[in-house]
Amino acid sequence: MTSLPSIRALTFDVFGTVVDWRGSIIAEGTALDLDLDWAAFADGWRAGYQPAMARVRSGELGWTRIDDLHRLILDSLLPEFGLTNLGEAELDHLNRVWHRLRPWPDAVEGLTLLKQDFVISTLSNGNLSLLTNMAKNGALPWDCILSAELAHHYKPDPEAYLTACHLLDLAPEQVLMVAAHEGDLRAAAAVGMRTAYVHRPTEYGPQHPKPWPKETFEWMATDFVDLAEKLNKNTGRNRDN
């Protein structure tokens, strides 16, 4: 560990790591005057996410933003959930619920702490405009917004991580990937990035608590405030630029 360079920037997975996508969709949906199982709807929408990105990865679809993938999945869910009578403006607004996802309770405080010592950035499959709007809606204090969109490669493709490091003008060893998902961290580690796992046990709902992973990553944190404390203890304050 002592031979590793100082960490200069933290890049964050967003859906599930920074924001509670499931709880946010359920809350916004429940506020509408529609008789719907919003938990099942949120789960169905999210279940379409990996297969939709796989269509881009395979080349079946050219580069397609998450906003547009979300809309493809949404359209496919409408009959099952009895939403076929929604108009275009309503559908577009519903699709953009992903721009309005709410941060986990510790996220803004933790990011504000981490921002004192590091460059903090998104590194999400969400498109840049989605992430920018989400930050504005949720007061997320990013230093910059990085996205798989800038690489035209979705995570976990290595290009998504390497493009982010290149734009930050840092070696992968100087960048810490923060995520609640092991596959994301494994892919970041494979290109030489550092890794921090943050546990979000209720990402898939209180009925389906997620266990801690069997794998150990360089940092293991219960939330972003805990991560800030652990990094501060291990690295000291290192902002010098």
- Contact footprint for its own copies (CB under 8 A): 65, 67, 96, 99, 119, 121, 127-129, 131-133, 135-137, 142-145, 149-150, 167-170, 239, 241
Q: For its own copies, which is the closer residue by CB, 192 or 213?
A: 192
Nearest distance from C-beta of residue 207 to its own copies, angstroms: 32
Nearest distance from C-beta of residue 90 to its own copies, angstroms: 15
Q: For its own copies, which is the closer residue by CB, 55 or 239?
A: 239
Nearest distance from C-beta of residue 229 to its own copies, angstroms: 21
Nearest distance from C-beta of residue 71 to its own copies, angstroms: 13
Q: For its own copies, which is the closer residue by CB, 45 or 118?
A: 118
Q: For its own copies, which is the closer residue by CB, 120 or 185?
A: 120
84, 76 Cβ separation under 8 angstroms: no
CA 210, CA 178: separation in Å to the nearest integer? 17
Nearest distance from C-beta of residue 9 to its own copies, angstroms: 9
CA 16, CA 122: separation in Å to the nearest integer? 13
Q: Residue 31: how many CA atoms within 13 Å on its side-chain side?
A: 7
* Helix (H) or strand (E) run with residue 11 in it: strand 9-12
147, 128 Cβ separation under 8 angstroms: yes
Q: Is the peptide bond before 156 cis (omega within 30 degrees of 0)?
A: yes
Nearest distance from C-beta of residue 57 to its own copies, angstroms: 21
Q: For its own copies, which is the closer residue by CB, 61 or 220?
A: 61
CA 141, CA 183: separation in Å to the nearest integer? 26
146, 170 Cβ separation under 8 angstroms: no
Q: For its own copies, which is the closer residue by CB, 97 or 178?
A: 97
* Amino acid letter, residue 201: P
Q: For its own copies, which is the closer residue by CB, 174 or 195?
A: 174
* Amino acid letter, residue 31: A
Q: 11 forms bridges with which residues in the sheet?
A: 121, 177
CA 20, CA 33: separation in Å to the nearest integer? 22
Nearest distance from C-beta of residue 132 to its own copies, angstroms: 5
Token readout for 219 is 């940092």
236, 122 Cβ separation under 8 angstroms: no
